[in-house]
Amino acid sequence: MSPRKRVTMHDHAAEASLFKRRALFTFIGVFLLLGVLLFNLFHLQVSQFSAYEMRSNDNRIRVIPTSPSRGLIYDRNGEIIAENQPFYSLEIIPEKVKDINASLDKLEQYVPLSKDERESITEKLAHHRRFKPMTIKNRLTEKQVATFSVNQHEFPGISVHAGLRRNYPYKDLMTHVLGYVGKINSRDKTMLEKNDQWKNYAATKDIGKQGIEKYYEHLLHGTPGHLEEEVNNRGRVIRTLKVNPPIPGEDIYLTLDLKLQQKAMKLLDGRRGSVVAIDPRDGGVLAMVSSPSYDPNAFVHGITSKAYSALLNDKSRPLINRATQGQYAPASTVKPFIALMGLENKVVTEKTRIWDPGFWQIPGVKRKWRDWKRWGHGWVDVYHAIVESCDIYFYDLVYKSGIDKLSSFMTPFGFGSKTGIDIYEESTGIMPSKDWKRMRYNQPWYVGDTISVGIGQGYWTSTPLQLANAVATLANKGQPHTPHLLMSEKINNVKTDTPIAPIDPIVLNDLHHWDIINEALRQTAHHSRFTDAKYTAAMKTGTAQVFSVRENERYDADTIADHLRDNALIVAYAPYEKPTIVLAVVLENAGWGGANAGPLARALLDEYILRDDAKVTP
């Protein structure tokens, strides 16, 4: 009997239900995937359209920043003293050059490269980004530009770059005032990034390094523009889409008088020293010369390490601005201020007289402080003390006053602090006091210290600018001004004068004391360098010891080293009735102040006062 076959029964209803579920799941999956696709399409095409369009344009459009031309600098009379000149340089993009050394060797057939230039290129390449252009040769001549241009097809990745570069037509005449521009270094970049200004220098390679160029960088630099170009996938330019021109920097006018500056430099004749001239009516600096100087154009084009080392190691220190950074004992030039203090504090009066036998002693002390005139001046009052520069009178005056009164009286005249002039390179000088010596040397103040300070020696130091500024206040009978170099700006071709912030005057108990001191300075000039002048002047000379002479020794310039000889100083102003110019002259190691610095002051005042008869007070 054969076995029965199994018969499978199909549940059509269940199968139909399963099919429906699977079909529904598949349909939902497809719908969801389609929804995701549509959502992404919407996100790309609508929501993020601007962002992706920009990214696409970045690949298609190249934005090239363009540098602004730097503002020009003029003197007070409109003479240009800092300009921009066209220049040509060779630039290389390292990643586009297969063998840089071989290309440079070949390049020398057309454009010579010095040993220093080759070494500089090697140093720069070690830290330079390969896709950015790098300068390999500055200041190409027109002949070199033409020669290279004809053969440029041999040098892929190397091209001629044209632009404007700073030039100082008077070279070393105004270096310490104008400063210079130089290449932006890592320190400059850090400073710009910190101040959120780096974007403004995207197309600029130079920045103000010192002087006016640095202080007024924000005015002179300008605002960069940009050029938009459409390029293909190989970077070749198809067309120019947009040009946004840069905004040039502002032109500025300084208070400097070019002719007076030239005269001062000529008179110094390379000697170590400084001349500062100020208009006492507003504090405008008419001349500021520091000698010796140097040509700032070397820094603009990139000074070699050898040349910079020579400047740095020069014993005459040409890099120092002696007018604002040189610190000298003011010597007898500050005796008028000390006399004014004595009158104000009633230590002396206009009629007080003292006996000068040629020496002075602290009561109970054997040491003798000598007068410059060994046999003395006899009986002297405040007028004779200033005219004859009698040391004994001032020894006695400061001994009776004390260092604290002297220091506090001199502070409002600007001694011991920066004047606030609009350049960064300035020293404070030293106006000593008991507290100052304790903090500086951890030593007590001695009476002998006061005696030395009483004739502008000892710890007291001042810059030529401080001296000129203090004398300007004296000539103005107590009205000070902040020395400044900026006179006006040219904004949108409109010249606008710079406002001058007012300063509270120095008020004396007796205004007649101003007249006493100024009259003494007039008498000093009348009996000295200005006897035959066509105008009335006031002056005071000074001879500052560089090293101390023992009590019983005599100073002999012929037997000591040049760098130990006395400094010669003079301060002066004119016309006496209504001063328009104040001078401070310092000659290092020149000797007697009146004999050496005096002729410079007379020549400079003649140059300024007599240049225009309208300036002479009738």
Domains of the chain plus CATH, in order, are 63-254 (3.90.1310.10), 258-295+320-615 (3.40.710.10)
d(CA 422, CA 485): 6
What is the rounded distance in angstroms from the CA atom of residue 411 to the CA atom of residue 417?
8
The residue type of 518 is N
Mean pLDDT on 367-379: 90
| pLDDT at res. 560 | 59
| Cα–Cα distance measured from residue 460 to residue 466, given in angstroms and rounded to the nearest whole number | 12
Partners of 230 in the beta sheet? 61, 239
For residues 139 and 302, what is the distance between their CA atoms, to the nearest angstrom? 10
Segments in 108-154 forming alpha helices (H): 115-125, 142-150
- Cβ burial, residue 596 (10 Å; 0-12/13-18/19+): buried
Distance CA(99)–CA(269), nearest Å, equals 52
Residue 3 pLDDT level (bands cut at 50, 70, 90): low
Nearest 5°: phi and psi at 515? -65, -40
Please enumerate, by residue number, every residue annotated as part of a binding site for Zn(2+). Answer: 356, 371, 377, 390
Lowest mean pLDDT among 416-420, 569-573, 590-594: 590-594
Looking at this protein, which amino acid is placed at residue 27?
F
Measured CA distances, 574 to 177, 472, 570 (Å): 24, 11, 14
The predicted pLDDT at position 320 comes to 95
pLDDT digit string (tens) for 145-161? 888 888 888 888 888 88
Amino acid at residue number 320: I
> How many C-beta neighbours within 10 Å does residue 5 have?
5
Give pLDDT tens digits for 468-482.
999 999 999 999 999
Contact 202, 65 (CB under 8 A): yes
pLDDT for 198: 85
Q: Output the six-digit token pair for 364.
A: 């109970």
| Known binding-site residue numbers | 356, 371, 377, 390
User: What is d(CA 366, CA 178) in angstroms, rounded to the nearest whole number?
Assistant: 53
pLDDT average, residue stretch 512-526: 96
pLDDT at 302: 80
The pTM assigned to this predicted structure is: 0.82
- Residue-level pLDDT at 51: 61
Q: Is the pLDDT of residue 24 over 90?
A: no
Q: Name the phi and psi angles at 538, rounded to 5.
A: -135, 145
E-strand ranges in 122-205 read 134-137, 158-167, 181-183
Residue type at 494? V
- The residue whose two tokens read 């210079």 is 180
Could you confirm whether 332 is annotated as catalytic?
A: yes
Lowest mean pLDDT among 66-70, 169-173, 343-347, 491-495: 491-495
Which of 89, 332, 407, 528 is flagged as catalytic?
A: 332
- Rounded (10°) angle between helices 512-526 and 335-344: 150
Fill in the DSSP letter of residue 551. T
- Please name which of 159, 180, 156 lies closest in space to residue 168, comparing C-alpha atoms: 180
Query: Would the pLDDT of 115 be above 90?
Result: no
- Give the C-alpha distances (Å, rounded to integers) separating 585 from 144, 266, 602: 47, 14, 11
